[in-house]
Structure 1
Amino acid sequence: MLFSTMSFACMNVIVKHLSDVSSYQIVFFRSLSSLFFTFGFLIKNKIPIIGKNNFLLIMRSITGATSMLFFFMSVKYLSVGTAVSLRYIAPIFAAIFAGFLLRERVRPWQWVFFAISFIGVLVLKGLDTEINTYGLMLILMASVLSGLVYVIISKIGNSEHPVVIVNYFMVIATVMGGLLSIGNWVTPSGWEWLFLFSLGVFGYFGQVFMTKAFQTATTNVVAPIKYVEVIFTTILGITLFNEIYTFWSLLGISLIIGGMVLNVWYKSKFKR
């Protein structure tokens, strides 16, 4: 899980570095370079590329691609650590969607932990004068859509191979990013080409290491560690981009991550 968080943190700071490149292009290259791994895995293991639940797979992919686009756009307006922290409130929206669409029950203590995280959002918006309102709206929309992705994947269940789900996502995100880039193309130069193609590599291995972590150890042990991504990303943001985090931004981030970690820990008690 630590290797996973480091991979995702590297991907996050590369997105921040590519500030002159269109977010549509970033989605395109991040997805295109991942297809090399997903198609390769499916072909090597003779797994059918076309899934059984095509409607749900397409809906998951469109929703996920849009969420990814909003996240990449938000990084241009927010410090990268703040953007990643706010993206992690997605479980709140997932719980709301699951209640309506899947009739899943959220326990009272979970709402308490969600409230702690939401207070963190209010602290960031209300007390941190450095935060950009437009960037905040973008990352909140990304989190809402990410929460919907969780519910769609839950609806798909075990009927599809995980790589099939990811492959659909990458194909549709590549097409979406490519089409949107047509009128917004900025030709990369020099090292930007390498950075763009490395996004898919870091993203893919982040997913692989995360999957292996959940397969190897219990959820209550490894799930909270994924929030270390915020720490790694924040440190890289300070080191590479001289980002400044005020007391209020650090307090808000701590409340967001603290509430989410408590939620993961509490949920794991009922899965033993």
Structure 2
Amino acid sequence: MGWIFFTHEATVKKPHRLPIMNIRKVLFYMIISALAFTLMNVAVKQLQHYSVYQIVLFRGFGSFLLTMAILKRLKVPILGNNKKLLVLRAIVGTSSMTLFFMSLKYLSAGTAVSLRYLAPIFSAIFAIYLLKEKIKPLQWLFFIISFLGVLILKGLDSHLDNTGLALVFAAAILSGLVYIIISKIGKGDHPIVIVNYFMFTATVFGGILAIPTWNTPIGSDWLFFATLGVFGFIGQLYMTKAFQIASNNLVAPFKYLEVLFTGLIGFMWLGETYTQWSLLGILLIIAGLVMNVLYKARDKRYNL
């Protein structure tokens, strides 16, 4: 969860004007990334008859194997430097991921994903107190637009489950805190080390809590479990490739393709339904967040 880069930002040179070829690459990379995250979400929905901790275990373990292989190949020290912050990021991230997976039992995939993307708003609020950053009045307007979308979902969509809403809100709040912790870590640790701590913690956490209710997968369920870590890793990898060749303000809006893809696949494959109010709510949530990203891109005081 979250936008984790696999290479140090200091090594990435972003041209003032992006060539057409690079724009096409960004679009290609973000489509692959969004599809991968979408397929991961769909796999989680297909495994709802299993314990959420079992899902967290397989999600963490699959990616952990890949991150360990990359660290070994790059010869990067596994333990990193900011150990306390790395552990804190891993614990908060694992908690956020677990709550999000829990919410998928109560909400349609598209609704859950769109609500989870409220994380940048909570991150901005945390930044006021923890990083002493300021939020401009226009940004508050964009945040209000997104929250208006939430109110429409909650008040006018009878399909929205209160338990699922509480779970995904908690997941978004913790995800916003993850962004702050990563900002605190800065360039002191390689991004793969950060992800590795996260995936290791998810593996241990999910593994221990899954023991009492363990249900051995059968048939095609093995395939869904196996793809969790792989799709999660592919999603992060291609998102990183996009951020390496373009600025945040160009790439970030494409991140919300995941909401579109998840909604479409949920409708066509999982038989999920969306009312006109839920679609309007999701549209307002995404519109507010995208406008905030584009607005921040105009302010040189933000490190984009």
Q: TM-score range by the shorter chain?
A: over 0.9
Give me the whole-angstrom Cα distance separating, in 2, the residues matched to 1:12 and 1:107. 34
Q: Deviations over 1:113-168 (max 9, x none)?
A: 01100111111111101111100100000000000000000010011100000000
In the TM superposition, what are the counterparts of 1:88-167 in structure 2 within 5 Å? Answer: 88-167=117-196
Give me the whole-angstrom Cα distance separating, in 2, the residues matched to 1:184 and 1:64. 23
**Amino acid in structure 2 at the alignment position of 1:121:** V
**Amino acid in structure 2 at the alignment position of 1:32:** F
Question: Does 1:190 pair with 2:225?
Answer: no
The correspondence for 2:257, drawn from 225, 228, 231, is 228
Please give the TM-score of this superposition, normalised by the length of structure 1: 0.98
The correspondence for 2:292, drawn from 252, 255, 263, is 263
Look up the match of 2:69.
40
Length, aligned pairs only:
272
* TM superposition outliers: structure 1 runs of 4+ over 2 Å: none
Which residues of structure 2 form unaligned runs of 5+? Answer: 1-29
Look up the match of 1:10.
39
Give me the whole-angstrom Cα distance separating, in 1, the residues matched to 2:297 and 2:243. 13
Give me the whole-angstrom Cα distance separating, in 1, the residues matched to 2:243 and 2:151. 32
Give me the whole-angstrom Cα distance separating, in 1, the residues matched to 2:294 and 2:140. 14
State the 1:108 CA deviation. Answer: 1.3
Which deviates the most, 180-189 or 128-137?
Answer: 180-189
Give me the whole-angstrom Cα distance separating, in 2, the residues matched to 1:197 and 1:55. 31
State the 1:221 CA deviation. Answer: 1.3
Look up the match of 1:52.
81
Question: Does 1:168 pair with 2:210?
Answer: no
The correspondence for 2:274, drawn from 226, 245, 251, is 245
**Amino acid in structure 1 at the alignment position of 2:299:** F
Specify the SS of the correspondent of 1:47. Answer: coil
Which deviates the most, 186-195 or 166-175?
Answer: 186-195
**Amino acid in structure 2 at the alignment position of 1:2:** I
